[in-house]
A and B are shown apart, each in its own frame.
Chain A
Amino acid sequence: MYVYYLALKYLLSRPINLLSILGVTLAVWALIVIVSIFSGFIVKMEKHIQGTTSDLSFIHIGSSPRSDLTLFQKLLEADPEVQAFAPRLVWHGMLDHAGKNELDLRRLQRGPERDFVQVIGIDPKQEQKVSRLRAWLAAVEDASLRPVNPAKPFETGSDDEIPGALLGLARARDLGLPRGSSLTLVSGHQVRNEDVTRIQKRFRLSGCWSSGFYHFDENTMLVPLSVMRDIFGEGRPAWQQAQLFNEIAIQLVEGADLNQAKKRLQESFDKLSQKKFIWGGIFWTWRDRNRNFLQNVEHQKFLMRLMLFVLVIVVGFLIFATLSMMVVEKIRDIGILSALGGTRTGVLVIFAFSGLAIAIIGSSLGVLSAVWTCAHLNDFNVWLKDSFDIHLFRTSVYGLKEVPHQIEWLWVGIVCTVTLGLSSLSAIIPGFRAARMDPVKALRHEI
């Protein structure tokens, strides 16, 4: 039993060993906390993205909007899992507004996208069935930026003919626009092979929304579907105009399998399009639509894990170096232990156990401190910001109220296993070297 006793004595009486423990603690802490933040962030973002994207979307392939909405109404109403759907007319353009030409640093910082905007023509009544528009509107804390009438969010309250438009809170704040501001959408569209027709339409900011997904909020403007139909339907018969759309947001019943529904709808649509010779289009789940963004974050998380594991390897080297040094320093002790009746295995165990103890103590402290840190992450972030103006995690950038985090216990297990495995390995090598040492040589060793 002397081996454990001695190993602990060695461990505790050498400050360098405490340093190794600290190293393990730090590595494990970082691995858990940082990955937890990433996981939490991904989960939050997925939720927000899911909130801004309907379960399924039909996306029209073709440059100008299509006018066969009735066909889709039949198709969707026939599907057992479709709960609601809302046609949309989605376009892109540049946003012009009063005071835009003043030097505005914040606007400049937005880079080349600063004037770009995605315009979605929606019918609020239908839209509320497929998205959480009402909740987003309510999420705007500043009452002066909330629409006057949430049920009819495009109402501007003024008598003029200018239609209302909603902007994401982030965008409106960036631009410093109050409710009632005049906005001009500039764009263009091509009808068949004619020249590009210029679109220039004035809107009045009727309010803002906040969905939580900063990317969506920053780059999107919601306008009445009817206005978009007027723009794109110029010169078409009224019945056609009333059917224009290029996207359909689809809400499925609770518990429906997204991918199966997508496949089923796509198949029915393909059959129909072959028969009737109509424009093509695809059904996408919300995940398909945001694949790039989600994969990006996942990829960053992967890279971060990889980088952090390098830290564990460095800590392994640290343990290896510390214990190798200890073996050299303790050469004489190895001789004495033999003289007192110690065995080679005993000597091996002393050093291996020291290493293992470093790893176990370090990992436990690491896990504990990581869990504690995660629990107090937000306070810590706020404290850092308030006391030192250091922004560890800019919650506002992502439209989050708190620093997101989610401890993945499987990951914690992996981290501990790898750390313990690597540390044991780095401990056993010097241990074997110590055990192989000739006790007589060890005794003859001059200090």
Chain B
Amino acid sequence: MTEILRAQGIEKSYRIGKQDIRVLRGIDMSVMEGEIVALCGSSGAGKSTLLHVLGLLDPPSGGKVWYRDVCATDISPARQTRLRHDLVGFVFQFYHLIAELSALENVMLGEMMLRSLPDYMRHRKQIKARAVDLLASIGLGDRLKNRPSQLSGGERQRVAIARALVSDPQVILADEPTGNLDSQTAEEILELIWKINEEQNIAFLIVTHDQNVASRTDRIIRLKDGLVLGHSQLEAEEIPL
């Protein structure tokens, strides 16, 4: 198995007044191809911060992020943007869909991003067909025209997942994707994630509080005080998250 994503000595500190708050203090971790990894830790441990650094949304104060054999923290912002678009998908706790766009448009947006108008017009049919397929495959084939406000929480998260999938990423970074859902709906979303992982071999890094979620993953990374506590598959049930 090859590594898709690797973090080396990631540090992140925020300066508030005269005080440096060190949120991440040297994180080493990686995600393999087709793997589902859980990122656990108490609230404020720095999970979201790490996810943003890994997703190249936030530059680290120290350390490096690698995608395959590209050192992503060393390249220009424009290439970072391109790399983020091509390799990474995001899913958030609060869905973060664009309210003015329909479910279909939200999904298509990812594919519109880096295209010029003529390029888009040439591929419009394909892009649309792909988005429709994606939504149909996650069970929202009949909700294409609905705005996010007309969808339930679970449905919104499905649309968000479809949006992350549309540009064929190799890894999806999910920040508490079930954190805002009831257990029944959460279960459906997890099933969807595992299904996608199985069918498309896309790796997932899932931030979660939920024992039940963590225990199913291939591997758990625990964060505490800005450091990685340990990688484990078996201890999941023993150590409180």
Binds B, one of A85-93, A329-337, A387-395: A329-337
Say yes or no: A341-B100 contact (C-beta < 8 A), given A1-B120, A2-B109, A440-B58: no
Binds A, one of B25-33, B36-44, B67-75, B90-98: B90-98
**What number of residue pairs across chains A and B have CB atoms under 8 A from each other?**
68
Q: Which residues on the A side are within 8 Å of B52 (C-beta)?
A: 440, 443
| A104 CB, nearest partner CB in chain B, Å | 68
User: Within 8 Å of chain A (Cβ to Cβ): is B55?
Assistant: yes
Are B163 and A340 in contact, with the CB atoms below 8 A? Answer: yes
Are B55 and A339 in contact, with the CB atoms below 8 A? Answer: yes
| B61 CB, nearest partner CB in chain A, Å | 13
Binds B, one of A6-14, A27-35, A179-187, A208-216: A6-14
Q: Which residues on the B side are within 8 Å of A343 (C-beta)?
A: 78, 81
Instruction: Tell me the complex Cα distance, A332–B110, Å.
Output: 16
Are A339 and B90 in contact, with the CB atoms below 8 A? Answer: yes
Are A9 and B101 in contact, with the CB atoms below 8 A? Answer: yes
Q: Which residues on the B side are within 8 Å of A192 (C-beta)?
A: none
Are B96 and A1 in contact, with the CB atoms below 8 A? Answer: no
Which residues in window 73-93 of B have CB below 8 A to A?
78, 81-82, 84-86, 90, 92
Q: Which residues on the A side are within 8 Å of B86 (C-beta)?
A: 341
Are A335 and B96 in contact, with the CB atoms below 8 A? Answer: yes
Instruction: Tell me the complex Cα distance, A168–B58, Å.
Output: 84
Q: Which of A14, A341, A438, A440 lies in contact with B114, CB distance below 8 A?
A: A341
Are B101 and A340 in contact, with the CB atoms below 8 A? Answer: no
Chain A residue at minimum C-beta to C-beta distance from B90: A339
Q: Which of A2, A4, A338 lies in contact with B57, CB distance below 8 A?
A: A338
User: Within 8 Å of chain A (Cβ to Cβ): is B48?
Assistant: yes
Say yes or no: A333-B112 contact (C-beta < 8 A), given A339-B90, A439-B57, A440-B58: no
User: Within 8 Å of chain A (Cβ to Cβ): is B117?
Assistant: yes
Most buried by A among B78, B84, B115: B84
Which residues in window 396-447 of A have CB below 8 A to B?
438-440, 443-444
Instruction: Tell me the complex Cα distance, A336–B82, Å.
Output: 15
Instruction: Tell me the complex Cα distance, A6–B117, Å.
Output: 13
| A354 CB, nearest partner CB in chain B, Å | 11
Instruction: Tell me the complex Cα distance, A418–B82, Å.
Output: 38
Are A342 and B96 in contact, with the CB atoms below 8 A? Answer: no
Instruction: Tell me the complex Cα distance, A14–B98, Å.
Output: 13
Instruction: Tell me the complex Cα distance, A443–B105, Å.
Output: 20
User: Within 8 Å of chain B (Cβ to Cβ): is A5?
Assistant: yes
Instruction: Tell me the complex Cα distance, A246–B115, Å.
Output: 83
Say yes or no: A342-B100 contact (C-beta < 8 A), given A439-B57, A443-B92: no
Chain A residue at minimum C-beta to C-beta distance from B110: A340
Say yes or no: A10-B110 contact (C-beta < 8 A), given A339-B84, A339-B90, A440-B57: no
Are A333 and B58 in contact, with the CB atoms below 8 A? Answer: no
Contact mask A338-366 → B, CB, 8 Å, 1/0? 11111100100000000000000000000
Are B78 and A1 in contact, with the CB atoms below 8 A? Answer: no
Are B85 and A340 in contact, with the CB atoms below 8 A? Answer: yes
User: Within 8 Å of chain A (Cβ to Cβ): is B129?
Assistant: no
Chain B residue at minimum C-beta to C-beta distance from A14: B100
Say yes or no: A10-B100 contact (C-beta < 8 A), given A4-B117, A341-B82: yes
Are A443 and B96 in contact, with the CB atoms below 8 A? Answer: yes
Instruction: Tell me the complex Cα distance, A443–B92, Å.
Output: 9
Say yes or no: A341-B57 contact (C-beta < 8 A), given A1-B116, A333-B98: no
Contact mask A3-46 → B, CB, 8 Å, 1/0? 01110011001100000000000000000000000000000000
Instruction: Tell me the complex Cα distance, A444–B47, Å.
Output: 13
Instruction: Tell me the complex Cα distance, A10–B109, Å.
Output: 14
User: Within 8 Å of chain A (Cβ to Cβ): is B113?
Assistant: yes
Instruction: Tell me the complex Cα distance, A36–B100, Å.
Output: 41
Instruction: Tell me the complex Cα distance, A309–B55, Å.
Output: 49
Q: Which residues on the B side are within 8 Å of A333 (C-beta)?
A: 98
Q: Which residues on the A side are within 8 Å of B113 (C-beta)?
A: 2, 337, 340-342, 346
Are B112 and A443 in contact, with the CB atoms below 8 A? Answer: no
Q: Which residues on the B side are within 8 Å of A14 (C-beta)?
A: 100
Q: Which of B81, B97, B105 lies in contact with A341, CB distance below 8 A?
A: B81
| A66 CB, nearest partner CB in chain B, Å | 81
Instruction: Tell me the complex Cα distance, A56–B57, Å.
Output: 80
- Interface set of B (CB-CB < 8 Å, partner A): 48, 52, 55, 57-58, 78, 81-82, 84-86, 90, 92, 96-98, 100-101, 105, 109-110, 112-117, 119-120, 163, 167
Given contacts A339-B96, A341-B110, A343-B81, could you give 16 more A-B pairs where the C-beta distance is less than 8 Å?
A1-B115, A1-B116, A2-B115, A9-B101, A14-B100, A336-B98, A340-B85, A340-B90, A340-B109, A341-B81, A341-B167, A346-B113, A439-B57, A440-B58, A443-B52, A443-B92
What are 29 A-to-B residue pairs whose CB atoms are below 8 Å?
A1-B115, A2-B109, A2-B112, A2-B115, A6-B98, A6-B101, A6-B109, A333-B98, A335-B57, A335-B96, A336-B97, A337-B113, A338-B57, A339-B55, A339-B57, A339-B90, A339-B96, A340-B85, A340-B90, A340-B109, A340-B163, A341-B113, A341-B114, A343-B78, A343-B81, A438-B58, A440-B57, A443-B52, A443-B57
